[in-house]
Structure 1
Amino acid sequence: MSIRHGLLALLEQGPRYGSQLRTEFESRTGATWPLNVGQVYTTLSRLERDGMVAQGGEDGAGHPLYAITDVGRGELKSWFERPVDRASPPRNELAIKLAMAVGAPGVDIRAVIQAQRHATLQAMQDYTRLKAQALVAVESGDVDRERDDVAWLLVLEQLIFQTEAEARWLDHSESRLARLSATAALRARNAPAAPDTPDAAGPQEPTGQAGPAPNTARGTRR
């Protein structure tokens, strides 16, 4: 998640102070990714260091205001134009958990999948309910809230699509494991039985049996 670019996008609309940025960020995203004030000011400090924002006076309550610079506008424009990089995908805890559960002693990976599927479907229902509420808000015609409601609706729909994909992936993983288990069992049944006593040297003469009698004749009778 690019907090720095999110803050730049909010500052593009005018100077703001730290807690105001946090409130507007969470309002725009439905608090899906909550921020704390310290995180906001740390990011602002880095943006100021990089020349993307600058402090510009205070508001009526004495809050220091930050404003976006031309450098910041250029970075924001570039961020909007370039696709999100998938070369280094973010870590996914669920994928890591299933990867570690494969072959782990004492772990029933199918039970892990079933528990996660239940949680994923519950999350999908919750997101769908929130989407219905967001649609009502968007259609209410409140101009002052419309922008944030539409933004929240887009975030919710992304979360719904994400949980739907996760549920399909869990179903696929369970089917994959079942097929691999069946294949392993079939191979075990069809494997040739090992001999009771391995005989690597091949057949040998019985112990104690004499070989052919030696020829002791010295010559032939005349």
Structure 2
Amino acid sequence: MSIRYGLLALLESGPRYGSQLRTEFESRTGATWPLNIGQVYTTLQRLERDGLITPEGGGDAKQQLYAITDTGRRELGEWFARPVDRTQPARDELAIKLAMAVGTPGVDVSEIIQAQRRHTLTAMQGYTRLKARALAAGPDTSDEMAWLLVLEQLIFFAEAENRWLDHCEARLVRYAKDRRGGVGAAGTRPGPTAGPDDPPDEAADHATTAARRSETAP
């Protein structure tokens, strides 16, 4: 859906060819989500079918100008005004991987977390370098500002994922400790479940801190 409305937003500035829309979409987002040209033309066909854009002039699909209609402008305005739905989150591969790893024989969940932390930190460092270059160069245009906003979203996401991995590691250390102590065994009453904001116990905290230091050490 974001591609659909992204193309509509670009057409709000004036008629465009499909190839122009692809180039401008990637320029605005720093090619973070590259578009296949076939995907662009398929989306344009659907927008035309729904009466949100109209072709201008002749020529085949690759030489066809498209313009936004009044209906398209209204729908675009509604999209800008409508919050992005977070109550139906997209499937996250990392969350699914950890959920499946827990309890799977022969799988070391800690190793999965460590490998992901290294990857996430490397990605975050790369985004941070790109941000530094973007700030040093400007931003002077709307496309450069748009790219900076996307970059900062990627940085914040990586930071949040790293914090969540720390939490997962601490949670698993506490879980293993509780199982060794017999918590949750048949005939016993489990203690209160910690919430996501509850501080981990001392052992989990030390384990997480040591792991984080080993990952970030030069």
Q: Residue in 2 aligned with 1:2?
A: 2
Q: Normalising to structure 2: TM-score of the pair?
A: 0.81
Equivalences for residues 69-148 of structure 1 within 5 A = 69-139=69-139, 141=140, 146-148=141-143
2:148 is matched with 153
Q: Secondary structure at the match of 1:38?
A: helix
Residue type of the alignment partner of 2:175: L
Superposition deviation, residue 58 in structure 1 = 5.6
The question of whether the paired residues in 2 share the 8 Å contact of 1:131 and 1:153 is answered with yes
Distance in 2 between the 1:50 and 1:191 partners?
A: 60
Q: Distance in 2 between matches of 1:11 and 1:22?
A: 12
1:66 alignment partner, SS class: strand
Indicate whether 1:177 and 2:176 are aligned: no
- Decide whether the 8 Å contact of 1:137 with 1:149 is kept in 2: no
Gaps of 5+ in 1: 193-222
**Alpha-carbon shift at residue 191 of structure 1 (Å):** 8.9
d(CA) in 1 for partners of 2:172, 2:87 = 28
Identity among equivalent pairs (%):
68
Counterpart residue number, 1:163: 158
Partner of 1:42: 42
Q: How many residues align?
A: 184
**Counterpart amino acid of residue 43 in structure 2:** T
Deviation at 1:87, TM superposition (A): 1.8
1:186 maps to which of 178, 181, 184: 181
Tell me the secondary structure at the aligned position of residue 187 of structure 1.
coil
Superposed structure 1 runs of 4+ greater than 3 Å apart:
none
Greater share of helix: 2
**Offset at residue 137 of structure 1 (A):** 2.3
The structure with more radius of gyration: 1
Amino acid across the alignment from 2:76: L
Deviation per residue, 1:39-97 (Å, 9 max, x gap): 000000000000000101169xx821000000100010000001001121111111111
Structure 1 distance, partners of 2:11, 2:51, is 14
In the alignment, residue 50 of structure 1 is paired with which amino acid? D
Distance 1:51 1:191, change over 3 A: closer
- Aligned equivalent of 2:30: 30
- Distance, in Å, in 1 between the alignment partners of 2:24 and 2:15 is 13
Contact 1:55/1:64 (8 A) holds in 2: yes
| Secondary structure in 2 matching 1:91 | coil
